[in-house]
Structure 1
Amino acid sequence: MDRRLLVGFTGATVALLLLVYAVGWDEVFAAAGDASLPIYALAFVAAGVCQVFRSLVWSRLLGVVGEEVSHLLVLRIFLTGMFLKYVTPYGQVAAGPGIAYVLAQYTEAEYESDLATVVSADFLNYVPYYSFGGVGFLYFVVQQPQLPDLGLFYVAIPLLVAVIGILLVLFWSRRGVVQRGLVGVAAGTRRLVAQVSTGLADRISEQAVRDRLAGFYETLDLVSKDRRSVAIAVVYAHVGWFFLMLPVYIVALALGTHIPLGVAFLVVALSKLGFLVPLPGGLGGVELVLAAMISLFVGLSPATATAIAILYRLTAYWQTIALGGLCSASLSVSSQTA
C-alpha cells in the first residue's frame, strides 16, 4: 500500500507540474503571488465548515438506525474516511467498505448497517453536485449573451445526470437484478480468491453475499422511511456543498478578480469529472478541469484560472488530507490505548 501511495502521489505531482508548465510557470506563480492572504484564509475556514456539515449528514443517518455517536467522534471518523478517499486512486468509489469498517469499530450495529449508512450519507452528500450544478448550468445558459461553442457539452451534461438517475432507480427498484449481478461477480471472484485463501473465499460465498445485501437494503429501507431525518440530512448536505463551492469564489476575490456564484456552482460540479484520473483524489485531473472551466466560462487567463484551481485545492483537498490524517492517527492511538 505504501508503495502504491508513493507511486500515486508521484504521478499526481508530475501531472500538476506538467499542467503548470504548460500554462507557464512565471504567469501562474505571479497570479498566485498576488493573492490577499486575509481573504484567502477565509477559503480555508469555508472548506472546514463544509466538512462539519457533511459529517452532520452522517450523524443524522446514524441516529435513524439507532446509533448514538457523539458529533465530535463522527466528525473524526468522517475526516478519516475522507482521508482514505483522497489518498487512494478512485477512492471516491472504492473506499466505502473500508470507511464502513472504521465506523463499525465505534458502533454496535452490524457491518452491513454501517456500510448502508455510509453509502446513504455519501449519496446525500453527492446530490448537491447535481442540484447546485443544475442551477449553475441554467445560470450560465441564461446569463451569457453569447454562448461559447461547446458542441455536445449542452447535451452531455443533462444526459449524464439522466443516466445516473436511471441507474439509481434501477439499483433501488430492481433489487433482484442487483442481487443476481453481485452474486455472479462474487462467484467469479471467489474462484480466484480461493487459490490464495479459502477463508477469505468463504466470506464472499453466494449466501454471504445475499445476507450482506439483505442487511444493506434493510438499513436503506429504514433510512428512507424517516423522511424528516432524511430531509434534514439533505439540507445539511446542501449547506456543506455550498461551503465546498464558496472557496472558489473567495480565492477569485483574493486574486482581485470575480467569479459569479452561479458559474462557481457549475465549475465545482464539473470538477468531479477530474476524479476519473487514476490518481489520488483526482490530483491533476481536478485542477485541469477547474482551470479549463474557469477560463472558458469566466474568460480569465489560463494562468489566473490555474492559480485559482491550485489555491482552491489547497483548501478543499490538502487541508482535508491534513485534518483527516490527524484524525486517523488519533483514532488509531485511542483504539490501541483503549
Structure 2
Amino acid sequence: MSGTTDLRATAVGFAAALVVFALLFLLAGVDRLVDTLVRADLRLVGAVVVVTLGWLFAWSGALRTVLDVLGVETTVRQSFLIFAGAMFSNNITPFGQAGGEPVTALLISESTDAEYETGLAAIASVDTLNFVPSISFALVGIGYFATTATLNPDLELGLALVVVLAVVVPGAIYYAWNRRYELEHRAVQRLTPLIQRVGGWIPRVTVPDADGIERRIGRFFQAIERVATNPRGLALALGLSALGWFLQSLGLWIAFQAIGSSVPFYVALFAVPIGAIAGATPLPGGAGGIEAVLIGLLQAFPGIGIAPATAAVIIFRGSVYWVPTAIGGVVMSVVGARRGTSG
C-alpha cells in the first residue's frame, strides 16, 4: 500500500512540475525560447555537462570524507556512484533531500559495510554541510551586486531571505547540538512506539523491541557527533562542498554563454544556491520550482530578460537534473537487481 501511495505522490508531483514548466514557457514565449535553444552553442552545452560531472565528483568526495570519518571505507568510484544514486532518489522524490535521504542511507548500507544509521547520519551530515558554502556564496554574490548597483524589490527580498537563513539555520544547529542528548532521549521516546506500530503493519518485517530501537537511534546520534567533532574531516568536506557550489554556478554562467548572452559571474553565484532552496517543495527534486525561482531571480538583475534567463536555466537544470538522474537510475537498478537475486 505504501509503495502505491509513494508512486501516486511522485506521479502527481511530476504532473505539477509539467504545469509549472508550461507556464514558464508561455511567459517566456515558446517560439522565442525554442529559437534561442536551437541556436545554442553545443560545445558550451557540453561544457555544462562536464562541469556537472565535476560537481558530482566534488560532492561525492564530501560524502566519502564523511564516511571515512565514520570508519566506512569507499573508493572514489564507489562514492561517486553512491552519490549519483542519492541524487536519483532526491530527484524522483517529493521534498528533495528530506524524501530521498532514507533511500540513500539504505543504498550506503548495501554498498558498504556501514549500518543503516551510519549511512543516514552520513548523508544527513553532507546535506547540512552543503548549507554553509551555499549561503556564503549567495551573500558574496548579492553583496558584490549591492555595492555596484541599486537593489530592486525582488533582489531585496532575496537578500533578506539569505540573511534570515544565515542567522536562523546556524542558530538552530547550534541549539540542537547543545541539546543533542536531550533530543536523542526525546527521539527514543517518540519514535519507539511509532516504529513498532508501523513495523507491525508491514508483512515479513520483524518488529524491533524498545531496546533495539534505542540502540539504533543512539548509533545515529553518535555518528553525527563523530562527524561534528572531527575538524580535519569537516574542513575537507566543506571545501569539497564549496567546490561543488562553485561548479554549479559556473555551469549556469556557461549556459548563458551557450545562448550568446553574457552575465556577471556573481549573478550565478547568488542565484544557484537560492534557487536550490526550492528543492524542498513537494515537486520531485524541486523540478519546476527551482527553475521558477532561478528565472525569477535572474530576470530581477538589470539587462537579463525572461527569454534568455529561461533558456539558460533550461540548459543548466537539464544537465544538473538529468545527468545524475540517469547515472543514479542505473545504479539503483543494479542494486535492486542484486537484492532481487540475493533474496
TM-score, with structure 2 as normaliser: 0.89
Question: Matched residues in 2 for 1:313 and 1:102: separation?
Answer: 25
More displaced 10-residue stretch of structure 1: 39-48 or 275-284:
275-284
Residues 276-299 of structure 1: CA deviation (Å, up to 9, x unaligned): 431111111111111111111243
Structure 2: runs of 5 or more not aligned: 1-5
| SS at structure 1 position matched to 2:282 | coil
Question: Matched residues in 1 for 2:280 and 2:116: separation?
Answer: 28
Structure 2 equivalent of residue 52 of structure 1: 57
Contact 1:57 1:125 in 2 (8 A): no
2:133 is aligned with 1:109? no
2:261 is aligned with 1:257? yes
Question: Matched residues in 2 for 1:100 and 1:69: separation?
Answer: 14
Contact 2:192 2:213 in 1 (8 A): no
| SS at structure 2 position matched to 1:210 | helix
TM-aligned CA distance change 1:184 to 1:30, over 3 Å: farther
Given the alignment, which residue of 222, 228, 238 partners 2:242? 238
Contact 1:77 1:328 in 2 (8 A): no
Question: Matched residues in 1 for 2:182 and 2:99: separation?
Answer: 22
Question: Matched residues in 2 for 1:229 and 1:162: separation?
Answer: 24
Structure 2 equivalent of residue 41 of structure 1: 46
Residues 16-47 of structure 1: CA deviation (Å, up to 9, x unaligned): 11221133211222222221111111001001
* 1:292 partner amino acid: G
Structure 2 equivalent of residue 297 of structure 1: 301
2:177 is aligned with 1:172? yes
2:121 is aligned with 1:147? no
| SS at structure 2 position matched to 1:281 | helix
State percent identity of aligned pairs: 29
CA RMSD of aligned residues (A): 2.5
| SS at structure 2 position matched to 1:105 | helix
Structure 1 equivalent of residue 89 of structure 2: 84
Give the Å deviation of 1:231: 1.3
Structure 2 equivalent of residue 136 of structure 1: 141
Structure 2 equivalent of residue 9 of structure 1: 14
Contact 2:51 2:247 in 1 (8 A): yes
Question: Matched residues in 2 for 1:286 and 1:187: separation?
Answer: 36
Question: Matched residues in 2 for 1:118 and 1:106: separation?
Answer: 14
Summarize the alignment of residues 156-235 of structure 1 with structure 2, pairs less than 5 Å apart: 156-183=161-188, 185-186=190-191, 189=194, 193=198, 196-197=201-202, 202-203=207-208, 207-235=211-239
Question: Matched residues in 1 for 2:272 and 2:38: separation?
Answer: 23
Question: Matched residues in 1 for 2:175 and 2:143: separation?
Answer: 27
Contact 2:134 2:273 in 1 (8 A): yes
| SS at structure 2 position matched to 1:109 | coil
Question: Matched residues in 2 for 1:313 and 1:180: separation?
Answer: 41
Give the Å deviation of 1:100: 0.9
TM-aligned CA distance change 1:304 to 1:185, over 3 Å: farther
More displaced 10-residue stretch of structure 1: 43-52 or 154-163:
154-163
